[in-house]
Structure 1
Amino acid sequence: MLSTHIAAQRGEIASRVLMPGDPLRAKYIAEKFLDSPKQYSQVRNMLGFTGTYKGVPVSIQGSGMGMPSMGIYSWELFKEYDVEQVIRIGTAGAFQNDISLGDIILSIAASTDSNFHRAFDLPPSYAPSASWELLKKAATVGDELKLNYRAGNTLSVDAFYDTTDGWFNKWLNMNVLAVEMEAAALYLNAAFHKRDALAMMTISDHILTGEEFTVEQRMYANDNMFKYALEIITR
């Protein structure tokens, strides 16, 4: 065991990793999409698996919810296991009227209300952003698969429940596409370690209309995104 929170030995984690927030979703993806998946960690029930997709080694590692948790797991993947590429696969809430439930969002850059940047002695003006290589491949693969995806700015927040009236209006006005809770931390860690990262999210609820997926849909309605991410990371 090399890291504090991941019970894997060197070589058990692939250089290409998908990170869903939910560890049960990691198990679902590994068992449904990977060949010969093997579990390498269950510390704190944050499950991790390695298998192959079309002959290419891929790992699926749960991240948990929020930037502190994503920050821990992605840091250890980059630093302790020499992971080269990470794609976050999760859900997000839409800000814009022309985005629908089930649409896939590619986060070009992640604005944030978090103080996570202070761990790197950075000002809040720093812009955490995706890897161009992964973003370019995502656009190519998305077009090939004829998926309904959008690329743009997203927002990473610390609080899931915000009691401030109209808190989202300033972000909506700046054409921020969606809100989630992990991308900025992933992008900061990737930048520090000079690795590639991309956050992609299926829209599971709409901030303006109040529409939302059921609990079951949140678990199982993301198969198109899972296959999309696997196609990107194995090219």
Structure 2
Amino acid sequence: MHKLSESDLVINPDGSIYHLNLLPEDVAQTVITVGDPDRVSEISKLFDRVELKKGKREFITHTGYLGDKRITVLSTGIGTDNIDIVFNELDALVNIDFKTREIKSELTSLDIIRIGTSGAIQPDIDMGTILVSSHGLGLDTLMKYYKQRLSPEDQNILDAVNQHFADLPGIDPYFTSGSSKLLETIGKGLQRGITVTAPGFYAPQGRVVRAEGKVPDLIGKLNSFKYDGLRITNLEMETAGIYALASVLGHNALSVNAILASRVKFEFSNDPHAIVNKAIELVLERL
């Protein structure tokens, strides 16, 4: 078996993984990820009991029980650069023997549900909608560094995306489906669509404050894409990276989006906390 080097897999002196500061036994089979560290306690306060609280940098973790179900809630911070850290370290915690530094012969597949905020880019999606991502479309560069094997269906959709975006400078997206299992359990009956993950909040999402963007009418270009009944519904900053790395590493992932803004109506919710709580309660009820 291949032994991972100390520089490839960094383990802290107490036996925990480098960034997350977690031990293998700290992680449940079901993981909820959130961007905001403060949102971790908003979820764990609804548990029947909490057995663990740990934190390092922006990575806050609570593990506890909802009834008999053990759940880990973990904050990722913003962006797919953080998703790269979180997903590789979660996978290492369950699929690498930290004593031997070898990959386990039997691999564990986690169920990972993101509860995050997002802006709708279709006029018929109202603020307050809880939307699940059928697919993630990444405009960032994360998957330029990993080998990804797409299904024929996903490749066909990506080809259609590339054709649609052919006239946009510097756009080279990646594409991944969400977990069919979680879409049918957590996502059953909810509105679905392709979620675009941008590498920033302002110009990469078509916003103009003072700095001038290079991509004219980005929102219009995104919301005009159609393929076999699919459309792009919303914008945020983590989903595509979550879906792609989960697929590469053999985990199930689903992104649940609390729609706080309409990018086409230029509106933002006056009660975002209530919408996020609605998404949290829905996910916990279905778990």
Task: Please give the range of the TM-score, normalised by the shorter of the 2 chains.
Answer: 0.7 to 0.9
Is the CA contact (8 Å cut-off) linking 1:2 and 1:8 kept in structure 2?
yes
Return the offset for 1:85. 0.8
- Verify: 1:117 aligned to 2:173, yes or no: no
Q: Counterpart in 2 of 1:130?
A: 178
2:20 partner amino acid: I
Secondary structure class of the residue paired with 1:42:
strand
What is the CA distance between 1:49 and its match in structure 2? Answer: 0.1
Structure-2 separation of matches of 1:201 and 1:55: 26
- 1:87 equivalent to 2:138? Answer no
Structure 1 CA distance for aligned equivalents of residues 40 and 77 of structure 2: 11
How many angstroms does 1:119 deviate by? 1.6
- In the TM superposition, 1:187-226 aligns within 5 A as 187-214=243-270, 217-226=271-280
The normalised TM-score by structure 2 is 0.73
What is the rounded CA distance, in whole Å, between the counterparts of 2:145 and 2:39 in structure 1? 29
TM-score by length of 1: 0.88
More helix by share: 1
Deviations 1:16-59 (A, max 9, x none): 0100100100111111x112124432101421101111220001
Q: Provide the secondary structure at the position in 1 that maps to 2:176.
A: coil
Q: Secondary structure at the match of 1:189?
A: helix
- Structure-1 residue corresponding to 2:235: 179
Q: Is the 8 A contact 2:195 2:240 kept in 1?
A: no
2:203 corresponds to 1:159? no
User: Would you say the 8 A contact 1:12–1:40 is kept in 2?
Assistant: no
In structure 1, the residue matched to 2:83 is: 70
* Cα deviation digits, residues 143-200 of structure 1 (max 9, x gap): 4xxxxx3111110000210134311111100131000100111111111111100011
Alignment CA distance shift 1:165-1:125 (3 Å): closer
2:255 counterpart of 1:229: no
CA distance in 2, matches of 1:179, 1:137: 23
Flag the structure with larger Rg.
Answer: 2
Q: RMSD between aligned alpha carbons?
A: 1.9
Kindly indicate whether the alpha-carbon contact (under 8 Å) linking 1:25 and 1:219 is maintained by their aligned counterparts in 2.
no
Gaps of 5+ in 2: 1-14, 96-108, 150-171, 204-212, 226-230
Q: After alignment, is 181-190 or 121-130 more displaced?
A: 121-130
Q: Which one is further off, 169-178 or 205-214?
A: 205-214
Aligned residue runs from structure 1 range 46-61, under 5 A? 46-61=59-74
Aligned equivalents of 2:65 and 2:274: distance in 1? 21
Q: CA deviation at 1:2?
A: 2.8
Q: Is 1:20 aligned to 2:34, yes or no? A: yes
Q: Distance in 1 between matches of 2:58 and 2:144?
A: 29
CA distance in 1, matches of 2:136, 2:58: 28
Judging changes above 3 Å, is the alpha-carbon distance between structure 1 residues 180 and 224 closer, same or farther for their aligned structure 2 residues?
A: same
Q: Percent identity?
A: 23
Counterpart in the other structure of 1:101? 127
